[in-house]
Amino acid sequence: MRSLIICGLILAFVSPCICVVFNSTTNAYNVIDFGAKGNGKTDDSQAFLRAWESTCGAEEMGTLIIPSNYEFLLSPLILKGPCKASSVQIQIQGKLVAPAKKKWRSYYFTWILITNVNGLIVDGSEGSLHGSGSTWWSCKHCRRPSLYITNLNKCDELISIGSLGRGNAMTAEQIYVQNCSFTRTTNGARIKTFPNGPGYARAITFEQITLIKAGNPIVINQFYNDPSTWGEVEVSEITFRDFNGTSAYDKAITLNCDPQGCFNITLDQINIVSSKGGKRVYCSGRNVHGTATSTYPNCSCLSS
């Protein structure tokens, strides 16, 4: 699976199974102990890689500690698996800072990539990430790096699961996203699949989400890039729970499934209103099966 962004973390994931929960372990590896300076000026990428090597090589669940009260400058880096342990945790307590445009390695298009890791746990509740986005705003006709930046007037999706079905089979399952805020994002919690390709997205939960003028707060779209055809990606056991706030668009919820249908889709305790006073928001969908409880706007397209 590809591209999961959690609680504003500017990360890209490629992993067979990603689950976000909160945990602790005795096999903790602090990046400071591996040479990271945390002064916001020294590139700490190599220290992070050394700490990751030990974390990934732990016999039991290893935890990578990024401590508070430090600011870590990181060049684009890749944290690779597979790991010995069945689960690996990353605790982001400090601040991570991306390099400015003039120092960006031109052959990288992702800032932090975590690949081929099972049972990945990310706790970013105490930390923050700064994508140095302002240094890119003046760029003209250039390919931007694959960063997702929150709290800007123009930004991409905050949490997106996709693009499944593109080429070979891709899967996403056992994903849990909690306690996030979407501020003026183009998309909110989104699952998108390409037509024609195989794969599945299942057992995915988004909950306790705050929306502030967010575009497309809730989206399942199985016709991404080609609305005229459909594919073989199966979408099931998807839960959207406890969403509150405002939508920038009239269409607040999109559940657009292909003819084979999406199943066991749950909407629970959803309260999304328009960011434009007096305007009504609505839900749109097709071929979607599940339940909606205490949900506004009403999603009559959901069939049990």
Structural domain boundaries of the chain?
12-132, 159-296
179-221, pLDDT tens digit by residue? 888 888 888 999 988 776 678 889 999 999 999 999 999 999 9
**Cβ pair 100, 74 in contact under 8 A:** no
269-280, pLDDT tens digit by residue? 999 999 998 899
**Cβ pair 293, 267 in contact under 8 A:** yes
pTM of the predicted protein model: 0.62
CATH fold for domain 12-132: Pectate Lyase C-like (2.160.20)
**Cβ pair 258, 232 in contact under 8 A:** no
What is the enclosing helix (H) or strand (E) of 220? strand 218-221
Look up residue 36 and give its amino acid: A
**C-alpha 33, offset from chain centre:** 29
CATH fold for domain 159-296: Pectate Lyase C-like (2.160.20)
CA distances from 115 to 37, 78, 157, 303 (A): 25, 7, 20, 37
- Is the pLDDT at 250 greater than 90? The verdict is yes
138-166, pLDDT tens digit by residue? 665 544 443 333 333 333 444 556 556 55
